[in-house]
Chains A and B, each alone.
Chain A
């Protein structure tokens, strides 16, 4: 399906509207955007299936109780919102491999799966250590002009740029 060009949004317009949504969210619900805490709560929920006693004894899950909260609903909304936008614009596409990845690493889905799993695990470990991800530290942090947001965002990109260079080499290859 070809994406209809008149239905894509400029990142400036999209970003401006995103800023307005964040203002309204803070005004109405008192909530800044974030994402990575939900993964910590989710980990607690998954571990609860196996060993609830262990989970309730872990300090991190006492701090971040494994439950459905505002941010969990925010991510659920994001999943549905992205789905709706993709459907109405004709850009929904079931794709097992990103284009750029496929060009560089070939068509093995298993390879993408294993590498993604570890990449995701490393990313979330780092995000919990840093205290947030590009949403919580990046967007919400920069919005509030916080020092932690700026520092974390800079180091997110330093780590990302070095890694992308190692994986893809120096060329720009658009």
Chain B
């Protein structure tokens, strides 16, 4: 049953991402060139919407969060390495799949490379596990935990910040 919900969620996500044109190389690299912020608008709108719904359900005890651990070394170094590769291929893992769906078949090369890169990571994992993956391990923390204030306050602040950002982007025609 879980597998069934996976395909349904994927169908809807793929549909919305294709219609919003966020799976295009030109949009992804456009954001990195600071020329077209479509993917930022999409991602932040999706995240703030989901924050409201999911924290509401969480406060009601209906859903569990699934926070990834904060590992400063791994998040920063891995983040930078990912960014470099992302800039080169022009697709992130999810959007590469979506791009293939709309016929942009250059995504195939990136997808094959991604599987290869994951295999290389699996091969070096035992050595990394004892070093980089141990640097700056703060566990599964959230921003409200760190700042010691209520998550609703943070969501409200983010909402205002995002709206100001969106307004600025629209004015600048980005």
Which A residues fall within an 8 A CB radius of B?
7-33, 35-36, 38-40, 42-44, 46-47, 58-61, 68-86, 89, 91-101, 109, 112-168, 172-174
In angstroms, how far is the closest chain B Cβ from the Cβ of A58? 6
- How near does chain B come to A161, taking the closest CB pair, in angstroms? 5
Complex CA–CA separation, A109 to B90 (angstroms): 15
- Asked if B15 and A85 sit within 8 Å, CB to CB, the answer is yes
DSSP class of A's interface residues: helix, strand, loop or mixed?
helix
**Number of chain B residues close to chain A: CB under 8 A:** 127
Given A79-B97, A82-B15, A157-B32, the answer on whether A116 and B82 have CB atoms closer than 8 Å is no
Q: How many A-B contacts are there with CB distance less than 8 Å?
A: 536
Chain B minimum-CB-distance residue to A54: B123
B78 and A119 contact, CB distance less than 8 A: no
B interface SS class: helix
Chain A nearest CB, measured from B27 CB (Å):
9
Task: Known pairs A60-B125, A160-B84; list 11 more (Cβ under 8 Å).
Answer: A12-B41, A25-B5, A71-B6, A74-B9, A95-B103, A96-B106, A120-B91, A127-B93, A128-B78, A148-B68, A148-B69
**Which residues of A are found within 8 Å of B49, using beta-carbon distances?**
15-16, 18-20, 22-23
Q: How far is the CB of A98 from chain B (nearest CB, A)?
A: 3
CA separation between A7 and B116, bound complex, in Å? 36
Query: Which residues of chain B come closer than 8 Å to A147, judged between CB atoms?
Result: 70, 138, 141-143, 145-146
Selected contact of B33 from candidates A9, A68, A91, A173, CB within 8 Å: A173
Q: Which residues of A contact B122 (CB under 8 A)?
A: 40, 43-44, 58, 60-61, 128
Asked whether, in the complex, the Cβ of A26 is within 8 Å of the Cβ of B112, the reply is no
The one of B102, B117, B154 that contacts A82, using a Cβ cutoff of 8 Å: B102
Docked pose: A71 CA to B18 CA in angstroms = 19
Q: How far is the CB of B161 from chain A (nearest CB, A)?
A: 12
B121 at the interface (CB under 8 A from A): yes
- A157 near B112 with CB under 8 A, answer no
Decide: A126 and B3 in contact? CB cutoff 8 A: no
**Contact A18 B17, beta carbon cutoff 8 Å:** yes
CB <8 Å contact, A119 and B85: yes
- A to B CB contacts below 8 Å, 13 in the list: A59-B125, A60-B125, A60-B126, A70-B3, A80-B7, A82-B100, A86-B18, A86-B102, A98-B90, A101-B106, A129-B77, A145-B142, A166-B87
